[in-house]
Amino acid sequence: MEDSDCIVIMGSNMAENHPVAFRWPMKAKVQHGAKIIHVDPRFTRTSAVADIYAPLRAGSDVAFLGGLIRYVLESERWNSDPFFKSWVATYTNASTLISEDFRDTEDAAGVFSGLMAYKGGMPEWPFNGFTNEYDGQSWQYARGAVGDQGRSASSAQSGEASSTQSGSKEPLKRDHKGPPYDDIVEHLLQPAPDRDETMQHERSVLQIVKRHFSRYTPEMVERTTGCPQATFLQVAETLLANSGAERTSSFAYAVAWTQHTNGVQIIGACALLQLLLGNAGRPGAGVMALRGHASIQGSTDVPTLYHSIHGYMPHPSALKEHDSLTEYLTGETLPTGWWANMPKYVVSYLKSMYGDAATAENEFGYDWHPKIIGDHSHMAMFAAMNAGRVKGMLCIGQNPATTLNAKLDRAAMRKLDWLVVKDNWVHETATFWKNAPEISNGEVSVADVGTEVFFFPATQVAETDGTFTNTQRMLQFHYKAVDAPGDCRSDMWFSYELGKRLKRLYAQSDELRDQGLKHLTWEYEHEDADQRARGEPSMLKILKELNGYYSDDPSRHVGGFVDLKDDGSTTCASWIYSGCYPAPDKNLTARREADAPGVRGAQLNWAWAWPANRRIMYNRASADPSGRPWSERKKWVWWDETQGRWTGYDVPDFPATKPPDDQPKPGAVGMDALPGTAAFILKPDGMGWLFVPSGLVDGPLPTHYEPVESPVNNPLYKQQASPVIKYWKDEANPLAVVGDPQYPHVITTYRLTEHYLSGAMSRWLPWLNALMPELFIELSPELATEKGIANLDWVRITTPRGAIRAKALVTRRMRPFVIDGRRIHQVGMPWHWGYEGLSTGAVVNELTPLVGDPNVSMHEGKAFVCNVERA
């Protein structure tokens, strides 16, 4: 970001929530005059230092981004500067043709072709939350024969939507069961999609995109978002002026984009815009996701998430043709692009699970691996728990008593037989049976809560070794400085200890269902005798399993994912982490060598980033199609003719010796099937997708839908909200109807610099708590006057889910919006409080509904409706 010329922060309050990351935009601003643009419902500390602040109503992001896309596509500069044409034609799918059957929202009153009632799912699991779904068949590329283009690299699909099955190929009839799997990959090859290099064909992606966004005019942006046209145009002009061969712009977003029922589409709109502007794979470009937790990237890479196994590979699912490893690989492998290597990664993963018991004969233990049977995400699980279908919960470093319709969550937890909480603080979840509001006010009696509850005290960061993966995919090792007090143990200790005990309990079992656990490799004894005596596992042994090693000689670590094989000779849990620990004495994640000051570089000797220590992904795009840097100023990775290889400041994210003019070989698979210009190597066509033919369940192009709860009708389309959202119907989860006069105001929730999440890591710390000691609601003086509320008055906030109290902070930083001719008030509340800690306050998430994005089951906490009155 330090290299950016313009940084658009949208869907994020970067200065408040990532102050240290914000160092770099500020450096860019002070040192080379980069423009910072903040687009946000509230005037925040980020807005305070931005060059342009554009206000918008919470939940109208796609309308704003759609407006920017239209502005760019219609602008003279974009249509005349050769950079954009060259970039878009070479690196994006702009010239690819889409199926004749595709119907856009323009033609179908706000929905795409293929909408139908939900019919997926299994009777065992009625908690998928879907009402409708799309059959994405008509969104595919047009090619000789219609077929599946496969998934995107970071596929969010978990299989509940039945449409994801469409287009999968007939399983290959194979004469052998095990490896090699090359035959499967070759079998999956399809004819190349149809293209029109002039990008003028009416079914070409560029023309479809142009038509799709034609209604997102500046007037419409103002009507929908409430952002004044002049401000919007200022943003658009600044962004365009700072994109091109010489200049790059970047976007930063956070949960204010993801916590929407169309969160994935908001991000998609941004990606589309950045691809149009050539802001990808280049220094100072891109879309930066600012994630909230120390290792949230790590917990996605190493998925403590139900829908995927290591390295973004889909979890085997009973909803797909995954009955055998062969079928799984047939369904999930992409024949072209990097993902053609998937069989190697899956087999190495299974070897990491079951060790020597995983053989070619038993498909590496594939049958032992569980399959998901539906949506087992956070909200679905709480819906199931509330229905009495979940008996036990292991809650480690999380505080669900304060999240997402918290009252429903706590009611669900009262139905558990047992709950294990492992945390650093006795937080709201640990005492949900004791101190929750419904217990304090007598609604529920403590004696009636039949849950057996455990609290295990945890270590703090300096009391254990371990690795965090930051938001830039960087693995950083940290060391233990002191022993933890009392019975505090690391979280690794807990899992390791529990595993050891369970393996003992099942040691005598011969049942098929227990074979996976019996064969699970589970040897992480610490090297140090003291730590071994405490029962702490060895972090290095765990890291080694993530990195990978040779199955026949575990002391030999693999050097990276290129070493992985599909025959079981390599064991590697996480292909993307492969290379982080390439030799027993080389833990690259522990490196702390910075580049010399003043030297341009990518800090390659500081820790280790996946994949293969690359700092900018898809960085082939930082060079033009012929391999030369787009400009001296934005030089990063380029083709060195004399050496015959890619070189530069970073590790090239491309086959090192594949020349820029390389052409795909007929019938080839993997990277050989792509040309030397295919910068987006994880995509099967090697291109950045403006139009997303597969991988998304709610449409191939971003479309403005209103949040599920909104005070206004969708100004853009007849369709009010996304037709395929997830909603868990429950009497404790009611929704307000559009324009409900009982709940006239938009409410958004957010975090403060001074606190962390539910406050579990901040409300016990005097230094932090004193800085923001009480829960408050921010509201404009206009609304305060209307309601007779003075600063610091107690205010009662109600939504269909509940009512809470908070102190008023009346400020002109909040403003009323005029939406579609109506004045709409908006209020905001930080959600850091609960009933434990040095300062207590209402649980703001008692207000939020359980509704979710259909792709990723992400909830909508950033825009819903409420009423406020003086308490």
User: Binding to another protein (CB under 8 A): which residues in 8-27?
Assistant: 15-23, 26-27
32 near another protein (CB under 8 A): no
569's CB contacts (< 8 A; 6+ apart) are: 550, 551, 552
Q: Cβ-count burial of 488 within 10 angstroms (0-12 exposed, 13-18 middle, 19+ buried)?
A: middle
Binding positions for another protein, 297-336, rule CB under 8 A: 297-306, 309, 315, 318, 323
Q: How far apart are CA 792 and CA 644, in angstroms?
A: 68
CA distances, 304 to each of 26, 296, 580 (Å): 34, 10, 20
Cα angle, residue 448 at apex, residues 444 and 450 outer, rounded to 5°: 125
Instruction: Report the first-to-last Cα separation within the chain, whole angstroms.
Output: 45
- Interface with another protein, residue 489, by CB under 8 A: yes
Distance, in Å, from the CA atom of 574 to the CA atom of 608, rounded to the nearest integer, reads 14
Q: Which of 91, 118, 468, 743 binds another protein (CB under 8 A)?
A: 468
Compare residues 66 and 802 and give the one whose CB is closer to another protein.
Answer: 802
**Rounded to the nearest 10 degrees, how much is the dihedral formed by the CA atoms of 479, 485, 487, 492?**
-10
Sequence-ordered list of residues with C-beta below 8 angstroms from that of 510, at least 6 positions apart, any chain:
none
Contact between 49 and another protein per CB under 8 A: yes
The single residue among 58, 62, 474, 851 that binds another protein, judged by CB under 8 A, is: 474
Pairing of strands 35-40, 52-55: parallel
Residue 777 tokens read as: 């609601």
Note whether 43 binds another protein by CB under 8 A.
yes
Q: Which amino acid is at 679?
A: A
Residue 520 in the binding site for another protein (CB under 8 A): yes
Buried (b) or exposed (e) across 634-665, using 16+ Cβ within 10 A?
Answer: bbbbbbeeeeeebebbbbbbbbeebbbebebe
User: 424, 760 in Cβ contact below 8 A?
Assistant: yes
Among 210, 506, 626, 798, binds another protein (CB under 8 A): 506
Answer yes or no whether residue 592 interacts with another protein by CB under 8 A: yes
Q: At closest approach, how far in Å is the CB of 828 from another protein? A: 13
| 189, 738, 838, 871: residue in contact with another protein (rule CB under 8 A) | 838
Scanning 651-659, 689-697, 724-732, 773-781 for contacts with another protein by CB under 8 A, the matching segment is 773-781
Query: Among 525, 771, 785, 818, which residue sits at the site for another protein (rule: CB under 8 A)?
Result: 771
Which residues, 371 to 400, sit near another protein by CB under 8 A? 371-373, 376-378, 381, 384-385, 389-398, 400
Per the DSSP assignment, residues forming a β-bridge with 474 are 609
Check binding of 367 to another protein (CB under 8 A): yes
Cα separation of 649 and 636, whole Å?
6
776 binds another protein (CB under 8 A): yes
Rule CB under 8 A: is residue 30 a binding residue for another protein? yes
- Shortest Cβ 525–another protein spacing (Å): 13
What value, to the nearest 5°, has the Cα angle with vertex 707 and ends 866 and 266? Answer: 135
268 to 287, contacts with another protein by CB under 8 A?
A: none
Candidates 335-343, 370-378, 619-627, 862-870 — which segment interacts with another protein by CB under 8 A?
A: 370-378
CB of 825 to another protein, least distance (A): 14
Stretch of 269-277, 511-519, 553-561, 738-746 lying at the interface with another protein (CB under 8 A):
511-519
Among residues 496 and 743, whose Cβ is nearest to another protein? Answer: 496
Interface residue with another protein among 357, 539, 588, 696 (CB under 8 A) is 539
Binding test (CB under 8 A) with another protein, winner from 133, 222, 545, 566: 545
Q: How far is the CB of 628 from another protein (least distance, A)?
A: 28
Contact 236, 838 (CB under 8 A): no
Q: Rule CB under 8 A: is residue 479 a binding residue for another protein? A: yes
Dig out the tokens for 219 from the structure.
């007037």
Whole-number minimum distance, CB 540 to another protein, in Å?
9
584 contacts another protein (rule: CB under 8 A): no
The DSSP call for residue 169 is P
Name the residue among 227, 221, 216, 202 with its Cα closest to residue 272. 216
**What are the structure tokens assigned to 669, written together?**
């698979």
Which H/E stretch holds residue 237?
helix 229-241
Contacts of another protein in 329-358 (CB under 8 A): 352-353
Binder of another protein out of 183, 246, 443, 483 (CB under 8 A): 483
Q: Which amino acid is at 438?
A: E
Q: Using CB under 8 A as the criterion, what x/- string covers residues 790-829 for binding another protein? A: -xx--------------x-x-xxx-x--------------
* Nearest CA-CA partner of 285 in 300, 293, 275: 275
Binding status of residue 593 toward another protein by CB under 8 A: yes
Report the residue number, 14 or 669, with the smaller CB distance to another protein. 14
Q: Quote the least distance from Cβ 361 to another protein, whole Å.
A: 17
Residue where the block lists tokens 């035959």: 183
Q: Of 651, 653, 657, nearest to 639 (Cα)?
A: 657
The count of residues interacting with another protein (CB under 8 A) is 195
Residue 84 or 833: which CB sits closer to another protein? Answer: 833
- Cα within 13 Å of Cα(61), Cβ side: 34
Q: How far is CA 793 from CA 221, 646, 787, in A?
A: 35, 63, 11
Considering beta carbons, is residue 433 or 646 the nearer one to another protein? 433
Question: Quick one: tokens of 470?
Answer: 């930051």
Instruction: Report if residue 116 touches another protein, rule: CB under 8 A.
Output: no
Which CB sits closer to another protein, 142 or 290? 290
691 near another protein (CB under 8 A): no
> Binding another protein by CB under 8 A: which of 1, 7, 11, 46?
46
Per-residue mark of binding to another protein, 633-672 (x: CB under 8 A): ----------------------------------------
Give the DSSP H/E element, type plus range, for residue 529.
Answer: helix 529-534
Task: Annotate each residue in 745-764 with x if it binds another protein (CB under 8 A) or - if it does not, as one string.
Answer: -------xxxxxx---xx-x
516 binds another protein (CB under 8 A): yes
Q: Residue 717 CB, nearest distance to another protein (Å)?
A: 28
Find the shortest distance in angstroms from Cβ 546 to another protein: 6
| Pairwise CA distance, residues 21 & 295, whole Å | 15
- 619: phi then psi, degrees, rounded to nearest 5: -75, 0
Residue appearing with tokens 């690391």: 490
Q: Which residue from 183, 219, 461, 794 is in contact with another protein, where contact means CB under 8 A?
A: 461
737 binds another protein (CB under 8 A): no
How far apart CA 726 and CA 377 sit, in angstroms, is 11
Nearer to another protein, 340 or 850 (CB): 850
Q: Minimum distance between the CB of residue 325 and another protein, rounded to whole angstroms?
A: 12
How many Å apart are CA 201 and CA 313, to the nearest integer?
A: 35
Q: Which of 78, 102, 125, 253 binds another protein (CB under 8 A)?
A: 125
- Asked if 598 touches another protein (CB under 8 A), the answer is no
787 is a contact residue toward another protein (CB under 8 A): no
Tokens of 283: 């220094």
Beta bridge partners of 249: 6
Is the separation of the CB atoms in 579 and 613 below 8 Å? yes
